[in-house]
Amino acid sequence: MTEVIAGQTVTLLAQFYDFEGGTLTDLDATPSIAITSIATGSTALAATTSGVTHPGTGSYGYAWTPSSALAPGAYLATWSGLKNAAAVTATETITVTAPATAEDTNTSPAGIWYATREDVMRALDVKLTARNSAQIDRALESASRGVEDLCHRRFYPVQATRYFDWPSSQYRPSWRLWLDDNELISLTTLVSGGVTIPSTDYFLEPNRSGPPYSRIEIDLDSSAAYGGGDTHQRDIQVTGLFGYRNTETQVGALAEALDASETAVDVNAATSAVVGVGSIVRVDSERMIVTGRQMLDTGQNVGGSGLTILPNNVTLTVSDGTAFAVDEILLVESERMLIVDIAGNNLTVIRAWDGSVIAAHAAGVDIYAARRLTVRRGALGTTAATHADATSLHRWDPPGLVRDLTIADAINRVLQEQAGYARTSKTSTGAKSVSVETLSLETLRTQTYTAHGRKARLRGV
């Protein structure tokens, strides 16, 4: 028997033998796998061969991620295939348990930032090293959690099911459910007392400024109502996209097909130029968090007469300029370069980027670009899935002030850490020393809270 927490991934394995006690043998073709509830017979996974792997002779695997909203209980995985044209099957019982924590559903805020490592490194103009990266990552984690504490809300989108008691002490009329810190971007399903309330029978409020929506009100012109469960506990079930706003930008596309288990994702030049470590990206319905970037051979080489060691030699000739993007970081031998303009097949670059050392490069040398992303799959309540080559990739964008404050706070933390948290500077009159955390940072905090802080509930008198 296999156990898995709803929302997490488990690898299922089937093995086929030529006879009982015999040796492992391959089937005629890839078998299918289907998963059904033993109690109700409902389908948790329709029969599929997509995503089925073949790790060894007679062995077949499948990485299954049950939805975090899947009902706990016993499920039956059934493998079906053919051997010498005869039908063969294999079964396995899986126990699915309910998620207990945000980590179980992959919705924990840990590792979710409102700016990227590259944003901070560019502002600080520091050399790209593992030591600097780790220091900046810590600062970004602290700064992002600090913005949430300041504004009393989390901004990133999370697909989830959350429960509310009814009635409870929310000091509300019987038709209004206050969501408090569980703000909604969009609502998929509303259930109370085991009864689904149609979308025509409730309102998301405030309708003039949401999302985010802070409350769900029953339409008083309908027959719907909250309550009706055996007890008041968890009477209301809300499934939807929680968070502040789902503002996205289409930034590029995949440069390969993905199965559900891959964590190294190849992307095109347009994506490489604008996605960094810490970005939240979406492919189809799956969200991923970028945790690293690697250089990938672009398939092109240094053209013309090459590049000299002179810093004003900034024209890099290639065979196809359309395959690159402005702001993309290139690697030629050991020197990094930043593309600042493209004219035909000539790339204008900044030499010795990211603290690398300028050098001469002969024609014909390979050009690499940061087009391989290391990602956390099935993030923020979504499910890891297969995706076709060239599928569009979208980046989630935090509010501008939130991003600015995260960068500013991260920079301040890095500088303070480097100075042992003892940095001071003189005032303009030289009369006294003040903290390096200047008024401008405090002003930015005030602006961010004023624009995006969650205030007290609005009440009518």
- pLDDT at position 389: 96
Q: pLDDT class for 172, splitting at 50, 70, 90?
A: low
- pLDDT at position 71: 81
189-239 tens-digit pLDDT: 999 988 999 999 999 999 888 899 999 999 999 999 998 888 888 889 999
Q: What is the mean pLDDT of residues 295-322?
A: 95
Rounded CA gap, 68 and 383, in Å? Answer: 9
Radius of gyration of the chain (CA): 27
Q: Which residue has the higher pLDDT, 6 or 244?
A: 244
User: Which residues make beta-bridge pairs with 218?
Assistant: 202
- Max avg pLDDT among 150-164, 322-336, 418-432: 322-336
Q: What percent of the chain has pLDDT over 70?
A: 90
Q: Let me know if 320 is exposed, middle or buried by CB neighbors in 10 A (0-12, 13-18, 19+).
A: exposed
Q: Which residue has the higher pLDDT, 444 or 104?
A: 444
- pLDDT at position 7: 77
Q: pLDDT class for 441, splitting at 50, 70, 90?
A: confident
- pLDDT at position 105: 61
113-168 tens-digit pLDDT: 999 999 998 888 767 776 788 899 999 999 999 999 999 999 999 988 888 887 76
If you average pLDDT over every residue of the chain, what do you get? Answer: 88
- pLDDT at position 109: 79
Q: What is the mean pLDDT of residues 49-73?
A: 89
SS3 readout for the chain = CEEEECCCCEEEEEECECCCCCCECCCCCCCEEEEEECCCCCEEEEEECCCCEEEECCEEEEEECCCCCCCCEEEEEEEEEEECCEEEEEEEEEEEECCCCCCCCCCCCCCCCCCCHHHHHHHHCCCCCHHHHHHHHHHHHHHHHHHHHHHCCCCCCEEEEEEECCCCCCCCCCCEEECCCCCEEEEEEEEECCEECCHHHEEEECCCCCCCECEEEECCCCCCCCCCCCCCCCCEEEEEEECCCCCEEEEEEECCCECCCCCEEEECHHHHHHCCCCCEEEECCEEEEEEEEEEEEEEEECCCCCECCCCCCCEEECCCHHHCCCCCEEEECCEEEEEEEEECCEEEEECCHHHCCCCCECCCCEEEEEEEEEEEEEECCCCCCCECCCCEEEEECCCHHHHHHHHHHHHHHHHHHHCCCCCEEECCCCCCEEECCCHHHHHHHHHHHHHHCCCCCCCCC
Q: What is the mean pLDDT of residues 312-331?
A: 95
Buried b (16+ CB within 10 A) or exposed e, 34-48: ebbbeeeeeebbeee
Q: pLDDT class for 431, splitting at 50, 70, 90?
A: very low
Rounded CA gap, 181 and 454, in Å? Answer: 9
- pLDDT at position 225: 92
416 has a pLDDT exceeding 90: no
402 has a pLDDT exceeding 90: yes
In 3D, which of 83, 94, 109 has the Cα closest to residue 28? 83
Q: pLDDT class for 428, splitting at 50, 70, 90?
A: very low
Cis status of the peptide bond prior to 167, with omega within 30 of 0? yes
423 has a pLDDT exceeding 60: no
Give how far the C-alpha of residue 394 lies from the chain's centroid of Cα atoms, to the nearest Å.
10
Rounded CA gap, 175 and 231, in Å? Answer: 18
Q: What is the mean pLDDT of residues 336-351?
A: 96
Q: What is the mean pLDDT of residues 335-346?
A: 95
- The CB-side HSE value for 343 (13 A sphere, CA atoms) comes to 5
- Max avg pLDDT among 108-122, 330-344, 443-457: 330-344
- pLDDT at position 244: 94
Rounded CA gap, 190 and 215, in Å? Answer: 12
Rounded CA gap, 275 and 279, in Å? Answer: 6
Q: Let me know if 316 is exposed, middle or buried by CB neighbors in 10 A (0-12, 13-18, 19+).
A: buried
437 has a pLDDT exceeding 80: no
Angle between helix 117-124 and 400-418 (nearest 10): 60
Rounded CA gap, 375 and 265, in Å? Answer: 7
Rounded CA gap, 80 and 47, in Å? Answer: 9
Q: What is the mean pLDDT of residues 321-332?
A: 95
Q: Are 185 and 242 in contact (CB under 8 A)?
A: yes
Q: How far from 159 is each of 7, 68, 188, 384, CA to CA, in Å?
A: 11, 9, 10, 13
- pLDDT at position 102: 59
Phi then psi for residue 384, to 5 deg, are -60, 135
Least confident of 48-62, 123-137, 164-178: 164-178
Torsion sign over Cα 346, 322, 333, 123: positive
110 has a pLDDT exceeding 90: no
170 has a pLDDT exceeding 60: no
Q: What is the mean pLDDT of residues 84-90?
A: 93
- pLDDT at position 253: 96
